[in-house]
Amino acid sequence: MQKILENALEIGRKYIPEGECASYIPELAKADKNHLGVCIRTRGMETFSAGDTKERFTIQSISKVITLMVALQHCGFNKVFEKMNMEPSGDAFNSLVKLDLTSDKPFNPMINAGAITTAGYLVPDVSFEDMLNYARCLCLDKDIVMDEKVFRSEMDHCARNRAISYLLQSKGILESDVEKSLELYTRMCSLSVTAESLAGLGLVLSNGGRHPETGERLIDKYAVQVAKTIMLTCGMYDGSGEFAVRVGIPSKSGVGGGILAVVEKRMGIGIYGPALNEKGNSIGGSHVLEYLSKELNLHMFAAEQ
């Protein structure tokens, strides 16, 4: 396994020069684009790591998975999807074109419009401190904190997300306080994690929402099922379809360079690689996952070896 991980990193590194760090949030542009790391945590409680797996970075859109699961558990499926769809958008994650011209509902919870809607469901009853504790619990990482510099940088450059939020309000989708919903969304995106944290979250999801050691239920199993399904269809922005064909593992990316991947009943995979492709996904990390999928036969629809 260790050799396979090292080979995967070697392949992933070849693509790093083709990518760039996210620059629309100035603080994210400061990351070292050459960082790349992958961690696997198995149901047998084994951990395998290679590269920059202890480097802290902000979770960004991967937090949408946590927020969605908490909302499903707190509000129920019907409430969460009353004003939101479950379909791939085919547009960039921060687009508002279809929301304005085609559909009155966000296409799914993994794009910004959907995630801000989801945060709005939680604002009246769930604090950021509650969400932080959920994140620490689900990622098996008690050291997760909010990166204040990234949070401030995002809030100072969130004109598009603010426009999306007020457009949602104008359509009757976002009923909670707009600024509070936007702030909760942004705080969750600013959580500081590692590739190991993401592997821990992936392991919990692969175990149906139970702690891998104690068996304690950490999140409702149906919420986990819904989240993993939407990760497969919508988790890699508007590159989700091709990624599903090539890799075939429910995954969620973030513009901080992280990728969360869930191999059902087997393992969680966490990746960090801040150089992004044109879709906003870690370019090195995507190739690492494609290699691991083939070498370890992880594709959901892979033929038996």
All residues at 6 or more sequence positions from 281 whose CB lies less than 8 Å from its CB, including other chains:
236, 237, 239, 243, 253, 259
15 has catalytic annotation: no
255 has catalytic annotation: yes
The catalytically annotated residue of 49, 61, 240, 253 is: 61
Alpha helices in the chain (DSSP H): 2-13, 63-75, 77-80, 97-101, 112-122, 128-138, 148-156, 159-170, 178-189, 195-206, 221-234, 240-246, 283-295
**Residue 271 · residue 258 · CB < 8 Å:** yes
The catalytically annotated residue of 237, 240, 247, 293 is: 237
CA–CA dist 196, 202 (Å, integer): 10
**Residue 210 · residue 218 · CB < 8 Å:** yes
The catalytically annotated residue of 134, 185, 272, 291 is: 185
Query: What backbone torsions phi and psi does residue 138 show, to the nearest 5 degrees?
Result: -70, -30
204 has catalytic annotation: no
170 has catalytic annotation: no
263 has catalytic annotation: no
The catalytically annotated residue of 255, 262, 263, 288 is: 255
The catalytically annotated residue of 33, 64, 83, 252 is: 64
Q: Which residues are the active-site residues? A: 61, 64, 185, 237, 255
